[in-house]
């Protein structure tokens, strides 16, 4: 009956793979990772590198956007100066014509 269950569930192959995993684990010097039971701490090791990489990317994009905004602000100020000069020129010609 036990043999029938083993054959039916293909347990012999599963037990062999389990034995193989156990043999491979014997050569491992450091213990395998086990969850601490505190999900926040368990996920930290996986999430922190991702979040640091994402933060670096966001800082790069922010720097690029700030530089782009600075150039646009300079362009706007130059345009305003040009408009002010044109207004002064118009006023001067208006007074000269009158």
pLDDT of residue 50: 93
Measured between alpha carbons, how far is 94 from 67 in angstroms, rounded to an integer?
Answer: 40
* pLDDT tens, residue by residue, 15-71: 889 999 888 878 777 777 778 888 888 888 889 999 999 999 999 999 999 999 999
Q: Which residue reads 């994009």 in tokens?
A: 61
pLDDT band at 12 (very low <50, low <70, confident <90, very high): confident
CA distances from 43 to 33, 50, 58, 91 (A): 12, 11, 22, 69
């Amino acid at each position: 009956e036990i043999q029938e269950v083993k054959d039916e569930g293909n347990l012999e192959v599963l037990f062999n793979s389990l034995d193989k995993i156990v043999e491979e684990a014997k050569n491992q010097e450091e213990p395998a990772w086990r969850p601490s039971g505190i999900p926040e701490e368990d996920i930290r090791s996986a999430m922190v590198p991702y979040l640091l990489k994402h933060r670096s990317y966001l800082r790069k994009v922010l720097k690029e956007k700030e530089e782009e905004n600075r150039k646009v602000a300079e362009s706007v100020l130059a345009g305003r100066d040009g408009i002010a000069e044109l207004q002064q020129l118009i006023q001067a010609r208006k007074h000269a014509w009158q």
